[in-house]
Amino acid sequence: MVIDSHQHFWKYEPVKHDWIDDDMSVIRRDFSPSDLAKVYQENSIDGCVAVQADQTLEETDFLIDLASNNNFIKGIVGWADLRAENIEDVLEKYSTSKIVKGFRHVVQGEPDHNFLLRPNFSRGIALLEKYNFTYDILVFPHQLGSVLEFVKKFPNQKFVIDHIAKPYIKDGYFDGWATMMTAIGKYENVSCKMSGMVTEAEYNSWTPEQIHPYMNTALEAFGSKRILFGSDWPVCLVAGNYSKIKKLTTNFISQLSQIEQNSIMGNNAIEFYNL
d(CA 47, CA 275): 10
Say whether 56 sits in a helix, a strand or coil.
coil
Q: Could you count the other beta carbons within 10 Å of the beta carbon of residue 233?
A: 26
- What gap in Å lies between CA 25 and CA 96, rounded to an integer? 38
| CA atoms within 13 Å, Cβ hemisphere of 243 | 4
| pLDDT tens-place values along the chain, 275 residues long | 999 999 999 999 988 898 889 889 999 999 999 999 999 999 999 999 999 999 999 999 999 999 999 999 999 999 999 999 999 999 999 999 999 999 999 999 999 999 999 999 999 999 999 999 999 999 999 999 999 999 999 999 999 999 999 999 999 999 999 999 999 999 999 999 999 999 999 999 999 999 999 999 999 999 999 999 999 999 999 999 999 999 999 999 999 999 999 999 999 999 999 99
Give the residue from 240, 228, 217 showing the smallest Cα distance to 271. Answer: 228
Q: Measure the CA angle with vertex 194, ends 190 and 198; round to 5°.
A: 140
Residue 201 near residue 210 (C-beta atoms within 8 A): yes
Longest Cα–Cα distance in the chain: 49
How far does Cα 182 stand from its chain's mean position? 18
Could you say which DSSP state residue 169 is in? G
Interatomic CA distance for residues 244 and 246, integer angstroms: 6
**E strand segments, the chain:** 3-7, 47-51, 73-78, 100-105, 134-137, 159-161, 190-194, 227-229
105, 55 Cβ separation under 8 angstroms: yes
Which residues touch 102 (CB under 8 Å, ≥6 apart)? 77, 78, 128, 133, 134, 135, 136, 158, 273
4: β partners: 48
Closest listed residue to residue 33, CA positions, set 6, 2, 59, 8 = 8
> According to the model, what pLDDT value does residue 15 have?
85
Q: Which of 200, 214, 82 is nearest to 150 (CA)?
A: 82
Nearest CA-CA partner of 139 in 211, 75, 190, 63: 190
Rounded to the nearest 10 degrees, the angle between the axes of helix 119-128 and helix 87-94 is: 30
Which bin fits 146, alpha (ψ -120 to 50), beta or left (φ > 0)?
Answer: alpha
